[in-house]
Amino acid sequence: MALVDIETPTAPARGRWPQVEGPGMAALEEWVYEIAELTQPDRIHWVSGTRAENRALLEQMVEDGKLIKLNPEWRPGSYLARSHPSDVARTEARTFIASERKIDAGPTNNWADPAEMRATLDGVFEGSMRGRTMYVVAFSMGAVGGPLSHIGVQVTDSPYAVASIGVMTRVGDEVTQLIADGAPWVKTVHSVGAPLKPGEEDVAWPYNDEKYIVHYPDTLEVWSYGSGYGGNAILAKKCFALRIASVIGRNEGWLAEHMLLIRVIDPTGKKYHVAAAFPSACGKTNLAMLRPTIPGWRVETLGDDIVWIRPGEDGRLWAINPEAGFFGVAPGTGESTNVTAVETLWGNTIFTNVALRPDGDVWWEGLTDEAPDDLIDWEGNPWTPASGRPAAHPNSRFTVRAAQCPQIADDWEDAVPLDVILFGGRRATNVPLVVEATDWNHGVFIGSTISSERTAAAEGTVGELRRDPFAMLPFCGYNMADYFAHWLEIGASEELTAPPAIFQVNWFRRGADGRFLWPGFGDNSRVIEWIIRRIQGEAGAIESPIGYLPDTDELNLDGIDVPQADLDELFHVDAASWSREADLTEEFYAQFGDRIPAELTEQLAALRSRLAEA
Ligand code: GTP
Ligand code: SPV
Ligand code: MN
């Protein structure tokens, strides 16, 4: 199929156009031409979403040196992308919320005046797509036409972004048809910011040192410039489905969350739905694909990164995974940790910044216990185990369709009722393996106090402890104090007669010798089992100043060997350390001034008095 049409020097060539008619089409086409006039691409190609088109795009990228085709014998339909070494993670310092009022962005977001930012971006985007094709991608988050779904359109000059959006969302003319029929849609614009002069040869990973990831919550728009990296370039994902959707959710009474979603099936066949918010690279994909190590229990995958939650008419909270794929962390994914992911990645996968084997397959740290002798690292240089540096970038990732996961639920595109919400983070100290909130408001308090050691998923110093309330610090599109209030309001609604129970978990507590105290991964099913037995009213608990802890006799440890001393440490609540945590929480809350909900300062005071009595 031809991706390119005849070129004219004055206006972009019109390549493929959708055969779609309807009253909404004029506004969409007008917007597409407006962006083209600003960015001046050579060609416009409207993405159809067909397999043939996808294959042609990928093969064109191979020809252009932008992708390496993996050996189909090991990895059919799969490709390796190597980014520029500076464009490997989300750039939070260059991510902006351009709300009319600064207070609506809140102290935890970078705010920009929308009028000033528009003027800046007009300059930055002017001619930014010269020499390139501008792709128009209509996408649906959630099943096409589904009751909780939302539509967006991304224009982009990055074929890598187009291929990724095709995996992560539902793309194509059926979505454009909904727009033509009058459905509302969100505008998203992306350019790698690397225009080509006539005759200039392209590079493998075009990008720009100057980056802007800008959200206009008042007009529901995203403008992203200078980066090709997932979270900066697949605008449907963090930009739309979290930052913009969180604003829509606040206005409409629902929640957009950085959560995984699973169905847990107990030995009697009873089903429970669990959503869990952990910060970036803190275990969502792994828990989403959990294979229980305890007999009789099963887990079905529904989603691994984003969940939209709405109150239902039955008094429960209903959740969907709006995405259609996984953009998962590669390092640490192996047979012994996440065999489900390994099986999911058998083919049809785009890998980014992993290492290449001489046989044309891929490798990353943790895929196998021992590293191959001889690799090409993520930057394209020869590598051996003696090289003294990782072969794959710590934030290297795989992009693959959800439907390819062997334990995906048959009905994974439908909404499910939530029984449990988990909050977690990466904490070497203090936070126990699991603790149950006493009620909704206590659970919201716990969510608001989540902190976690920094990971490679965003720029910054790895390992440094930072606050990441609800795992949403980088993704909340409005003032986080208002976000806390929104959570409290949802819980206070009289219609919510059966709210999910809330727990905090921490798989990452370490002993004095630095090793993880808990085996984690498949054995996290033991924690899930206690949680489910707890909500069934079957398991006892011990009251502590920070919530209900399991009696360690109640935790199913059959078949694993966790020394008693480690167990004691896993559940140890140190009053002095928790008092210091409370001081840090007070400091964290202070930046929001009197916008912080009274319910949360009351929770903090109550925690302090329980700690004083302990
Ligand atoms: P994002 O895609 O960035 O939002 O990350 P995520 O939360 O989905 O993180 P993911 O599941 O990919 O895990 C990131 C890292 O944590 C990987 O290196 C995993 O191997 C590691 N990890 C996940 N679960 C566990 C666990 O139970 N114990 C330990 N020790 N490590 C874990
Ligand atoms: C994260 O950083 O939380 C991710 C990867 O899931 S990205 O889509 O790049 O945000
Ligand atoms: Mn994420």
Output the residue whose Cα is nearest ligand 2's atom 4.
280
Distance from C-alpha of 76 to C-alpha of 70, rounded to nearest angstrom? 7
Asked, for residue 584, whether it belongs to a domain, the answer is no
Asked, for residue 3, whether it belongs to a domain, the answer is no
Cα(273) to centroid of ligand 3, in Å?
Answer: 20
- Say which CATH number the domain at 213 has: 3.40.449.10
User: Per-residue pLDDT averaged across 593-611, rounded?
Assistant: 98
Output the residue whose Cα is nearest ligand 2's atom 10.
231
Shared domain for 248 and 362, answered yes or no, is no
Asked, for residue 389, whether it belongs to a domain, the answer is yes
User: Per-residue pLDDT averaged across 95-121, rounded?
Assistant: 98
Q: Is the pTM of this model over 0.95?
A: yes
Print the domain residue range for 28: 13-64+92-253
Q: Dihedral sign for Cα 256, 150, 164, 194, please.
A: negative
Output the residue whose Cα is nearest ligand 2's atom 1.
280
Here the ipTM equals 0.99
**By three-state DSSP, how is residue 58 classified?**
helix
- Say which CATH number the domain at 551 has: 3.90.228.20
Q: Dihedral sign for Cα 176, 180, 182, 188, please.
A: positive
Does the beta carbon of 284 lie inside 6 Å of ligand 1?
Answer: yes
Distance from C-alpha of 8 to C-alpha of 41, rounded to nearest angstrom? 11
Does the beta carbon of 523 lie inside 6 Å of ligand 2?
Answer: no
Asked, for residue 382, whether it belongs to a domain, the answer is yes
Query: Could you please report the per-residue DSSP string of 78-124?
Result: -EEE---TT-SSB-GGGEEE--SSHHHH-TTSEE--HHHHHHHHHHH
Q: Which of 239, 282, 405, 476 is catalytic?
A: 282
**By three-state DSSP, how is residue 67 classified?**
coil
Q: Which of 367, 400, 433 is the endpoint of a domain?
A: 400
Output the residue whose Cα is nearest ligand 1's atom 19.
332
Amino acid 491: pLDDT: 98
CA nearest 430: which of 603, 571, 588, 278?
A: 571
Shared domain for 474 and 421, answered yes or no, is yes
Instruction: Tell whether residue 441 is among the known ligand binding residues.
Output: no
Provide the pLDDT confidence category of residue 100 given band limits of 50, 70 and 90: very high
Distance from C-alpha of 512 to C-alpha of 339, rounded to nearest angstrom? 30
Residue 35 dihedral angles phi and psi, to the nearest 5°: -65, -40
Cα(528) to centroid of ligand 2, in Å?
Answer: 25
Place of tokens 């994974």: 412
Provide the pLDDT confidence category of residue 614 given band limits of 50, 70 and 90: confident
- Given its phi and psi angles, is residue 131 left (phi above 0), alpha (psi -120 to 50 degrees) or beta? left
pLDDT digits (tens, 9 = 90+) for 426-453: 999 999 999 999 999 999 999 999 999 9
**What is the distance, to the nearest Å, from the Cα of residue 240 to the centroid of all Cα atoms in its chain?**
11
Quote the DSSP letter at residue 521.
Answer: G
Shared domain for 330 and 467, answered yes or no, is no
Distance from C-alpha of 179 to C-alpha of 224, rounded to nearest angstrom? 22
- Say which CATH number the domain at 370 has: 2.170.8.10
Quote the DSSP letter at residue 516.
Answer: B
Asked, for residue 608, whether it belongs to a domain, the answer is no
Residues in contact with 241: Cβ distance below 8 Å, sequence separation at least 6, in sequence order? 141, 256, 306, 308, 322, 323
Asked, for residue 589, whether it belongs to a domain, the answer is no
Asked, for residue 159, whether it belongs to a domain, the answer is yes
Asked, for residue 81, whether it belongs to a domain, the answer is no
Number of domains in the chain: 3
pLDDT digits (tens, 9 = 90+) for 154-192: 999 999 999 999 999 999 999 999 999 999 999 999 999
Does the beta carbon of 522 lie inside 6 Å of ligand 1?
Answer: no
Instruction: Tell whether residue 281 is among the known ligand binding residues.
Output: yes
Shared domain for 25 and 51, answered yes or no, is yes
**What is the distance, to the nearest Å, from the Cα of residue 146 to the centroid of all Cα atoms in its chain?**
21
Q: Which of 253, 272, 290 is the endpoint of a domain?
A: 253
What's the mean pLDDT when you consider all of the chain? 96
Shared domain for 436 and 546, answered yes or no, is yes
Amino acid 111: pLDDT: 98
Give a three-class secondary structure readout of 396-457. Answer: CEEEEEHHHCCCECCCCCCCEECCEEEEECCCCCCCCCEEECCCHHHHHHHHHCCEEECCCC
Shared domain for 389 and 457, answered yes or no, is no
Cα(148) to centroid of ligand 3, in Å?
Answer: 20
Distance from C-alpha of 599 to C-alpha of 449, rounded to nearest angstrom? 14
Instruction: Tell whether residue 284 is among the known ligand binding residues.
Output: yes
Distance from C-alpha of 402 to C-alpha of 327, rounded to nearest angstrom? 10
98, pLDDT greater than 90: yes
Shared domain for 296 and 384, answered yes or no, is no
Shared domain for 235 and 277, answered yes or no, is no
% pLDDT > 90, the chain: 96
Q: Which of 253, 277, 308 is the endpoint of a domain?
A: 253
CA nearest 525: which of 341, 289, 318, 330?
A: 289
Distance from C-alpha of 321 to C-alpha of 359, rounded to nearest angstrom? 36
Element (H, E) at 234: none
User: Per-residue pLDDT averaged across 525-546, rounded?
Assistant: 97
- 23-to-35, 180, 181 alpha-carbon distances in Å: 20, 6, 6
Shared domain for 48 and 192, answered yes or no, is yes
Instruction: Tell whether residue 90 is among the known ligand binding residues.
Output: yes
Q: Residue 282 catalytic? A: yes
- 603-to-40, 69, 471, 582 alpha-carbon distances in Å: 55, 55, 20, 10
Shared domain for 540 and 555, answered yes or no, is yes
Shared domain for 347 and 241, answered yes or no, is no
Cα(259) to centroid of ligand 2, in Å?
Answer: 11
Shared domain for 218 and 287, answered yes or no, is no
Quote the DSSP letter at residue 458.
Answer: B
